[in-house]
Amino acid sequence: MYLTHLECPRCGREHDAGVPQNLCDCGSPLLARYDLARVAGLVEPERFGLRPADLWRYRELLPVAEPRHVTTLGEGWTPMLRAPTYGARIGVDELLVKDEGLTPTGSFKARGAAVGVSRARELGIRRIAMPTNGNAGAAWATYAARAGMGATIAMPVDAPSICRRECVAAGADLRLVDGLISDAGRQVAALVAASAGTIFDAGTLREPYRLEGKKTMGYEIVEQLGWRVPDVIVYPTGGGVGLIGIHKALGELRELGWIEDRLPRLVAVQSSGCAPIVRAFAAGEDRARPWADAHTVAFGITVPAPLGDELILAALRATAGTAIAVDDAEILADLRDFAAREGLLLCPEGAACLTAARKLRAGGWIRAGERVVVLNTGAGVKYPETVDVSGVPVLPR
């Protein structure tokens, strides 16, 4: 294993990667660091194509030392689909959709769960707990079950019903909360505090290894494009782990010498009903203030106070990116339009990225001829309520 230590991006303090860790004493999430010089000397990127088509093909850049601890359901290596018809309509001729809906449990959350659970298992953790807006809880409950670990999952009662069912099916201790993910987070914090160390807090960015699973989306995008970067990557941003992870992956690839210095411009997409990152970015602030009365049909990005706000904003500014909020009505309209033109039903968070790409191209921020990658972070079939069928006539027998 080439993992060397954990590092605090805020205060610079190093932490031991050989024991379970949560946040730094200063309150910041921790980042896993690797001996990239050794990796560069031993691995040629072209060799990845000879390995299995899952995220573990990048094992030298992941934090699990012993293969026996790897907990997998075949996650990763999702397709990058061209969208020429919809792309032509919005003026983005090279529009690509990275479809994470085909991962186990139906969302990109399986990547973080696979690596996070595998590393937790290796470190001797027996039970995890976490708040979730739905998909992350379903993924972590599923992978915990596969690893023989216990899981306590707290989620808002308004979360997608399929996610509740996935947790129950996986044998998790499910707690429904009448509120938002922040309210679920307080429930988990109290549970962990009262557990005398027997329950590990695996909430978003409260442990460092979920991020390592999510960063593999960045590796895959670059490898699928022939070890070249796109011009723009558009990402739905709630807790922001995926965007932070992609930025981390790009930085590692550049340090390895596998890509050139130019990085894609990253776009954080939020709903106008919950846009703390957009507000902070527009104001030039380094931290995001909590969003009051958060609500959106894109439930997965309903995060009023993301823990990783500093890292999200830093990634946007380091890549000359931007943050944009889109309305629910536009999200649902673009979801239907894209499905009718391209034959792919996106999750509402993925559809929000389409709306963002359309608006950014119309405003000139995305330029003609640029290659744009949109992340569809989950399977559209998990959100049946996003397509209204009430007007469909019922034929007589």
Residue ranges of domains in the chain = 80-107+211-384
pLDDT in tens, 6-40: 999 999 999 999 999 999 999 999 999 999 999 99
**Are the CB atoms for 236 and 266 separated by under 8 Å?**
no
**Are the CB atoms for 114 and 126 separated by under 8 Å?**
no
What pLDDT band is residue 126 in, cutting at 50, 70 and 90? very high
Architecture category of domain 80-107+211-384 in CATH: 3-Layer(aba) Sandwich (3.40)
Could you tell me the pTM of the whole model? 0.96
For residue 229, what are its two tokens? 């970067």
- Interhelix angle 241-256/216-224, rounded to 10 degrees, is 60
Cβ atoms < 10 Å from Cβ of 385: 10
pLDDT in tens, 246-282: 999 999 999 999 999 899 999 999 999 999 999 999 9
pLDDT in tens, 61-75: 999 999 999 999 999
